[in-house]
Amino acid sequence: MTDRKTVLITGAGSGIGQALAIQGAGMGFDVIIAGRSETTLAQTVSACGGGHVLPVVADVTTAKGRADICAAVGSSLDVLINNAGTLSVGRLRHMSDVDLERMTATNLVAPMALTRDLLPALSAPKGRIVNIGSVFGDIAYPFFAGYSATKFGLRGFSDAMRRELSGVGIGVTYIAPRATRTAAESAFRSLVEPMDMTLDSAEAVAAQAWDAILKGKRESFPKGKERFFVKVQRLFPSLVDKSVGAQARDPKTLAALDAPMETQISQPQ
């Protein structure tokens, strides 16, 4: 890379966001990382091994937080990665208003608002918007209803912005990881086996994302059964209804669901 480029990553204090920052710094990007915790951001800066990394302590769900992020970015941004997210797991009837509002604000409203605010900076270098979604944004999973809804929304936002910005040179990439080994795993760990989930490392997800970003891909899904099921979902959703519905009704799944577990985990924002 001859000319240094700048990437902004939200939710970069740990997990996928931290892995994205480490790999981005290793590729020569100037990296701006945003999150609510000064401590975890400092850990990411340290893990990046002395690269050009600027931490911004900010809550992306607030107007002030977004303004602080925009001030740190300045007039030019090559890549915006909307990664910050939150997850609540369980039966919908057990979800509080706070659970639902937190997921909607963090997973959907914040990426839309931050993208809007950073469009002028992205316009100058004809940059790229990258939204970290989920396979659950295609395959709506039982007991992840609110989370799936926000990721469906983020996928729709990605498609709409790709078309809206097609005349100005800003690209949009949607990344759809499957379940990942991060702090959020504790919210659904008991469901991994009965629902036959495959987990990837944060580093693998970040590598998949960077590959798609650098190649200017429209979207990126993990290799394996999930990619196949996404195609089936889009063409024959009733088949997925039967398969995933059977998992949801399975006594092992119901027993795991009733086991004590954390219902809400946030990726650092």
User: What residues have CB less than 8 Å from 119, skipping those under 6 apart?
Assistant: 170
Q: Report helix, strand or coil for 197.
A: coil
Of 136, 141, 147, 229, catalytic: 147
Sign of CA dihedral 53, 57, 62, 67: negative
Active site residue 141: no
Contact 139, 233 (CB under 8 A): yes
CA-nearest of 115, 5, 16, 130 to 66 is 115
Residue with tokens 């008991």: 190
- List residues bridging with 220 in a β-sheet: 175
Residue with tokens 């036959």: 196
C-alpha separations of 264 from 52, 55, 122, 178, 181 in Å: 33, 25, 33, 18, 15
**In sequence order, which ranges of the chain are alpha helices (DSSP H)?**
15-26, 38-47, 63-73, 97-104, 110-123, 145-164, 202-214, 225-235, 237-249, 251-258
Structural tokens at position 11: 């939710």
CA-nearest of 259, 240, 238 to 141 is 240
Catalytic residues: 147
